[in-house]
């Protein structure tokens, strides 16, 4: 059995020489994604709104020998998204191979309980921010000659789940954006895909909600 496991590991692909940006990489799905990409040899940049948490994660990754850098950034603000991508361009010399749009938020309420602020926050974070980041990253992805965009969507984007109407709408929009970019940017050697997890138990959601409603987007 040990020999089989070692053989499987040897057969895994390598990302040596590749660069990656993972949004929301200090917790949950984003954290696991940073670790996986770095383990496979990619040089990774990530971002978080929490400067202290970001610093702790960067120290942790450095101790593991991973090549990971980071920026404190609130992706709900356009100017901070632009600054983030300027940093990424500088760090990676104007080229980016992988963009993982992981950062997201949710509001768990019945539809009649959603107010305008709830709806605006979810749409701004889950749709406007990743869409804009793709626009900003486009020249860097194209320059790499081998670009890949991965959106972290959710099963909520393709099926009805209770108390997640705004969140579900945002993830449905992401699913459609994925299809459009896959068609538009294929000519530039940029692949676009979506991953749609079910509920994932992580440290992000600490409130006592059912697992099926927890942390769909990392």
Catalytic residues: 167
Which tokens go with 162? 């209770």
Rounded to whole angstroms, the Cα distance separating 20 from 68 reads 9
- Contact by Cβ (8 Å): 22, 35: no
Q: Is 21 helix (H, G, I), strand (E, B) or coil?
A: strand
Q: Measured in Å, how far apart are the chain's first and last C-alpha atoms?
A: 33
- Contact by Cβ (8 Å): 73, 84: yes
- Contact by Cβ (8 Å): 162, 210: no
Which tokens go with 34? 């940073």
Q: What is the sign, positive or negative, of the torsion defined by CA atoms of 69, 30, 16, 129?
A: negative
In order of 8, 32, 43, 60, 67, the CA distances from 64 in angstroms are 22, 14, 13, 7, 9
- Contact by Cβ (8 Å): 121, 107: yes
- DSSP code of 210? -
């Amino acid at each position: 059995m040990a020999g089989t496991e070692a053989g499987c590991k040897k057969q895994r692909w390598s990302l040596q020489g590749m660069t990656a940006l993972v949004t929301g990489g200090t917790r949950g799905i984003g954290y696991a994604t940073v670790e996986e990409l770095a383990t496979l040899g990619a040089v990774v940049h990530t971002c978080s709104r929490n400067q202290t948490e970001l610093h702790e994660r960067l120290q942790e990754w450095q101790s593991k020998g991973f090549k990971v850098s980071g920026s404190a950034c609130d992706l709900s603000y356009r100017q901070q998204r632009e600054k983030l991508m300027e940093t990424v361009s500088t760090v990676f010399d104007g080229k980016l191979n992988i963009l993982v749009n992981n950062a997201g938020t949710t509001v768990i309420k019945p539809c009649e309980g959603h107010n305008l602020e709830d709806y605006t926050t979810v749409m701004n974070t889950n749709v406007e921010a990743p869409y804009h980041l793709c626009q900003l990253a486009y020249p860097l992805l194209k320059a790499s000659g081998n670009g890949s965009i991965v959106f972290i969507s959710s099963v909520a984007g393709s099926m009805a789940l209770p108390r997640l109407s705004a969140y579900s709408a945002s993830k449905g929009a992401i699913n459609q954006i994925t299809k459009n970019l896959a068609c538009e940017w294929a000519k530039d050697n940029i692949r676009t895909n979506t991953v749609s997890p079910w509920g994932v138990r992580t440290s992000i959601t600490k409130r006592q909600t059912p697992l099926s409603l927890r942390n769909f987007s990392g």
